[in-house]
Amino acid sequence: MTVISRGMKQYEILPHTADVAIRATGSTKPALLAAALQGMFAAAEPRFLTPEEPRQRVFKIEAGDFAALLVDFLNQAVALSDINREAYEDARFSLVTDKKIEGTLIGRAIDSFGTQIKAATHHNLEVKKNGQDFWEATITFDV
């Protein structure tokens, strides 16, 4: 299974007193993961280097459940962003289960971020399925 996220923005940056929070939505788990990734990096306000070719980073993540998997996925993206000075705008998924994901992050080199996200947290984390074909997650980030 290869899923590439494209199309409309499926995240919202939420007001939060001390940290940053987003609400992401998707019709599938891969779409939800991609929307959360896009929302997190939008909240970080990357200052991209231009012109810059897209860069790709392969990832494999396992966790005890899908909510933990979502947080671990976002934290892996933060770590790769810090190491490689990149911001990720999209993802391709070759495998998505409740406990494991594999795929490729797609991003570009950055100069800096307007807001430095340190980590996705489990604080106030909410991941739920609304109806038959709609996933929603609310995620808080340490800044």
What DSSP string describes 90-104? EEEEEEE-SSEEEEE
Query: What values do phi and psi take at 72, rounded to 5?
Result: -65, -40
Q: What is the pLDDT of residue 4?
A: 40
Question: What percentage of the chain carries pLDDT values higher than 70?
Answer: 94
Query: Computed from CA positions of residues 121, 132, 62, 6, in that sequence, does the dihedral angle turn out positive or negative?
Result: negative
In which domain, by residue range, is 59 found? 3-142
Confirm whether pTM is higher than 0.85.
Answer: yes
The reported pLDDT for the residue numbered 62 is 99
DSSP classification of residue 55: E
Mean pLDDT by 10 residues, the chain (143 residues): 52 89 96 97 95 93 98 99 97 98 98 97 96 91 96
Domain count, the chain: 1
CATH at residue 19: 3.55.10.10
